[in-house]
Structure 1
Amino acid sequence: MTTHSTGAPDGALVLPGRDAAPAGLLVGDARDPRIRVLLVEDDDGDALLVDEHFQDAGLDVDLTWVRTLDEAVERLDVDCVLLDLGLPDAMGLGALDRLLAAGAPAVVVLTGLSGTDVGVRAVAAGAQDYLVKGEVDGELLGRSVRYAVQRRRLEDTDRALYRSLVRANEMTRLERALLPNPLVHDARIEVQVGYRAGRDGLLGGDFYDVVECTDGRVLAMVGDVCGHGPDEAALGATLRTAWRTLVLADTPTDAILGLLERVLVAERSRPEVFTTVSMVAVSPDGTSADLYLAGHPVPILLGPPSTTLPNHLRGRALGVPVSGGWDPCHLELGEAWRVMLYTDGVLEATVGGGRERVGKAGLLAVVDATLASGRLDLVDHVLQQVRLIHGGELVDDTAVVVLGRGA
């Protein structure tokens, strides 16, 4: 196989006697298996010798040659860099440090010094290999470049795997904080919870919790931090933890949202971040409840037919700098009832991926169809059906809580 050189960028040199890459052939493309090598060498004779070594090795290489480190850092879209440590604008390991800091791929150091520890120190500093110029032949150079490229790819794969594991561990910790186990001991109280991450698989700012108080009240809530990403997820976890702490501390129910807003304002990363919340506080005898709405979608009283709960006392979202608080709407529920709280991911899901949204009417239809089927896994089935209507994973993350009491 012959050695090929690329059409050189401005300032780079194509070694004489070599054909340029055929027109339309992308270097590094799946159609072009050649190794892209950048030679950083200011000596013409050494550069030509490197080219001849590649020919002798039969290694299919796209070789670009530059004389200075300044030129090299602008042309690092290659598989391997052959770096001379004696350049007009850089000497010694400082050249390697600068190249690596600029994002160089695999680097093989060329040194004219035999019997010194320069090469060893270069490898310790981040080079994949080192070669002594006077001791190099085609076979050695070809093998060194191939191995250097493969080692660097393995290193990149290991780093990507490590980052993936770290991210998974972070998501697990956030998930535990965002999605706790309900703290309810009354056997008459039914609790179902569900969560689906959005299309990108990352946890967002949706959160929920259900806690039974020492006096027999049961409080449930769902919340949604505006925006998506790790900052929103972390804030949601903080707010969820603060809410449970307030409930366990027997904070008066009508003071919880105000205190939660204070936590939000103190912890949010930007002043425009707000959070919506719906909260239900069930009386100790389980037959009535107070509904608090902070800019959040109205919960559903399950039927059939299912209906949305009253929303005439809906308050502002937490963190929005306007006047107004959160007055409770009293609900007489009776001996047997079930209420569904949810975040807006289920409402904003589209029908078949088009522009029409599921909305409240669509969600009510899904809920009643699920109830009619007699399924016990109500929350999971509702989320599954909304996903099927949407035609894939939902764009937004979604949390759903069903709270109920049997007769």
Structure 2
Amino acid sequence: MVIGDGAAGSAEGTVVNGGASLGDDTVLDDRVEATVESVDVLLIEDDPGDAFLAEELLADTALTTHITWVSTLKAARAHLTDFRGCVLLDLNLPDGHGLDLLREVLDTAPSAAVVVFTGLDDEHEGIAAVAAGAQDYLVKGQVDGSLLARSLRYSLERRRADENARQLREARMRARENMRLERGLLPQVLLDSSPLSHRAYYRPGRKRALVGGDFYDAVEKDGTTHVIIGDVSGHGPDEAALGVSLRIAWRTLVMSGISEERVLPNLEELLATERAQEEMYATLCMTSLDTGSDRARVRSLGHPPPMIVKGGVAEEIQAVPQPPLGVFPVDQDEFTEVVLPRGVSLLFYTDGLVDAYDGGPPARLEVAGLRRLVNGVLGQGVALNNLPEHLVDEAERSNGGPLQDDVAMLLITHGEPE
């Protein structure tokens, strides 16, 4: 038998090969045969004879199909949403025609494979339909059971291949976007004339499609070295873009020679104008050290202050806390002075470390737990320059697996380390 030969009609409904009904409990075929695959089929065909033939042809193959037949586009709409099988589509329906009909089906059921039926004189429509997104086309009057079953299998596999290709393209786009964002968030520091040396480290979190809003920078300008590390609240492209804006703006403010106490208030003004939502804010810590001095000025806005590492031991800096940037106005004169002799280091970090579990939920490492890990790593004789990698490894062991959030660290040393 071939579709289009004017066979007798059947009722609109559902059929499963091997003994199911068309909606009126009529058993079409109760034979049992070996199957190689199961396919859900939505048959959109206004000719009852052609619909019945399609069901009969598939019943004679080894392909197990669950067929739902509708005769109009209006009736099909209720089935197309979230449909992931194969749509057999007649391009000439009472309420839909041609490529416009196909486009609506493709838009409504983006995860489905689509095979279109055309008449012998309309084969060009089938070619155009494949170009528009259908997986295959069949000409009525030239279809047998074997060809129909093979077309269904092929169309489903092609749809899966198209989906895999789409996901691969998106993954590559995300990777390129990550690279651009990382260049903005994690720059080459400007410390050529500074008495401070640095070691930067960054690792993305486990469940992140895009790099987050963690950022850092360090710049020497007119005899003073300024260091910043920060984290925009939330996760996503808006937060990452805001982190890039804040980092670039901070460097611009420092390089322009603006007074130190005005840097963060100006940065807050920029955050207020650039954030996508009113509730977005950023935590950050900024430290400044004059060349020839051993006294650093630490400003902490909702962010953990750096740890000071001296003689192989890490200690918490008790900095005066201020609210995060974007919550309340910045106090221009509020800072904590820290003695930083030559050979002593400061470890700046983002909250991806302190938010790790302390041996398991619900307890978190917090700053005290992180200090314990730092001292444990240093106590093993690990070189200071290798501290970030070892510290993340220890945090992941404490967490019971990869860290959820991004981790950025900046290890700053005054002169040569002890």
TM over 0.5: yes
Consecutive unaligned residues of structure 1, counting only runs of 5 or more, are 22-30
DSSP-derived class of the 2:226 partner: strand
DSSP-derived class of the 2:342 partner: coil
Aligned-pair distance for 1:239?
0.8
Distance change (3 Å), C-alpha of 1:406 and 1:321: closer
DSSP-derived class of the 1:302 partner: strand
Distance change (3 Å), C-alpha of 1:98 and 1:14: farther
Counterpart check, 1:70 vs 2:74:
yes
1:394 counterpart residue number? 403
Distance across 2 between alignment mates of 1:60 and 1:70: 27
Counterparts in 2 of 1:170-249, with a 5 A limit?
A: 170-186=177-193, 188-201=195-208, 202-213=210-221, 215-249=222-256
Q: Which amino acid aligns with 2:336?
A: C
Distance across 2 between alignment mates of 1:61 and 1:158: 27
DSSP-derived class of the 2:54 partner: helix
1:223-275 deviation per Cα after TM superposition (whole angstroms, max 9, x unaligned): 01111112111111111111112222222211111111111111100111111
Aligned-pair distance for 1:295?
1.8
CA contact (8 A) 1:204 1:228 kept: yes
Distance change (3 Å), C-alpha of 1:348 and 1:6: farther
Aligned-pair distance for 1:308?
1.7
Distance across 1 between alignment mates of 2:164 and 2:329: 50
DSSP-derived class of the 1:37 partner: strand
CA contact (8 A) 2:354 2:370 kept: yes
Aligned-pair distance for 1:125?
2.1
Counterparts in 2 of 1:7-406, with a 5 A limit?
A: 16-18=27-29, 33-76=37-80, 77-104=83-110, 105-114=112-121, 116-186=123-193, 188-201=195-208, 202-213=210-221, 215-303=222-310, 304-312=312-320, 314-321=321-328, 324-325=331-332, 327-376=334-383, 377-406=386-415
Percent identity between the two aligned chains:
40
How many residue pairs were aligned? 392
Aligned-pair distance for 1:121?
2.1
Consecutive unaligned residues of structure 2, counting only runs of 5 or more, are 1-15
Q: TM-score, normalised by structure 2?
A: 0.86
1:26 counterpart residue number? none
2:4 counterpart residue number? none
CA contact (8 A) 2:215 2:229 kept: yes
Q: Which amino acid aligns with 1:3?
A: N
Aligned-pair distance for 1:353?
2.8
1:161-220 deviation per Cα after TM superposition (whole angstroms, max 9, x unaligned): 10110011101111111111222125852212222222213421111111222x232211
Distance across 2 between alignment mates of 1:197 and 1:396: 7
DSSP-derived class of the 1:277 partner: strand
Distance change (3 Å), C-alpha of 1:6 and 1:218: farther
Aligned-pair distance for 1:4?
4.4
Distance across 2 between alignment mates of 1:252 and 1:224: 23
DSSP-derived class of the 1:171 partner: helix
Distance across 1 between alignment mates of 2:394 and 2:187: 24
2:9 counterpart residue number? none
DSSP-derived class of the 1:350 partner: coil
CA contact (8 A) 2:195 2:291 kept: no
Distance across 2 between alignment mates of 1:54 and 1:128: 19
1:61-87 deviation per Cα after TM superposition (whole angstroms, max 9, x unaligned): 222211221222222324211111222
Distance change (3 Å), C-alpha of 1:284 and 1:168: same
Point out the more displaced range, 224-233 or 142-151: 142-151
Distance change (3 Å), C-alpha of 1:188 and 1:6: farther
1:330-362 deviation per Cα after TM superposition (whole angstroms, max 9, x unaligned): 223233311111122211211233111112221
Distance change (3 Å), C-alpha of 1:326 and 1:71: farther
CA contact (8 A) 1:294 1:326 kept: no
